[in-house]
Chain A
Amino acid sequence: AQTVTQSQPEMSVQEAETVTLSCTYDTSESDYYLFWYKQPPSRQMILVIRQEAYKQQNATENRFSVNFQKAAKSFSLKISDSQLGDAAMYFCAYRSAFAGNQFYFGTGTSLTVIP
């Protein structure tokens, strides 16, 4: 089974600064997709950004961007110009192209934004 590892249980960033959250994964598949989800205190899971493994170009969504290193099986999330509303738990997720298309989640990184 695939595994997703987030080695930073907690991170903090000053408002308006940049922070990078780390994620690594283990797979033998060549076709897959990667995601970052945000979970604020409301518990709602919100999709932040997605990356197709076959694309070399890193995905970008406004202040959020990823550094996807396929050979290293690394998928980090960079948040620029951090805002108070970015404070949340962030989960990295791997989606197989097969086997019921299920997701595998990391254990999460709790991000605190300091005013």
Chain B
Amino acid sequence: NAGVTQTPKFRILKIGQSMTLQCTQDMNHNYMYWYRQDPGMGLKLIYYSVGAGITDKGEVPNGYNVSRSTTEDFPLRLELAAPSQTSVYFCASTRAGTLSSNYGYTFGSGTRLTVV
């Protein structure tokens, strides 16, 4: 059982470049999330999705885009990378619904992105 798989694990981008962070889960979870983790700042929600074809903004969506064409995949797109996007990015998934709310997230292993 692979859980949540994120690729790549590390990446260095130049200012203005674009890239896609990949996230795939094999647990048939409806809900998927992208967070960024900055030093001393905890995790902040970028975007989330409650199912295929449905996405919504989180706390810090500017500079990012997402899509959810299948239940399994939830890629995060960075357009015109900026130094402020240097961070560690986590993808997570969980079961849907109130009765399942006591389930925690399953996290990917993270992507360390540096924009120079």
Binding site for B on A (CB under 8 A): 1, 4, 9, 31-33, 35, 37, 42-45, 47, 50, 52, 91, 93, 95-98, 100-103, 105-108
Contacts and interface: CB of A to CB of B under 8 A. Distances in A.
Given A35-B104, A45-B105, A93-B104, 16 more contacts: A1-B59, A9-B40, A43-B109, A44-B107, A45-B90, A45-B107, A50-B104, A52-B102, A95-B104, A100-B56, A101-B31, A101-B101, A103-B45, A103-B92, A105-B35, A107-B41
Contacts of B33: 102-103
Interface of B: 31, 33, 35, 40-45, 48, 50, 56, 58-59, 88, 90, 92, 94, 96-98, 101-102, 104-105, 107, 109-110, 112
Contacts, number: 64
Contacts of A93: 104
Contacts of B58: 102
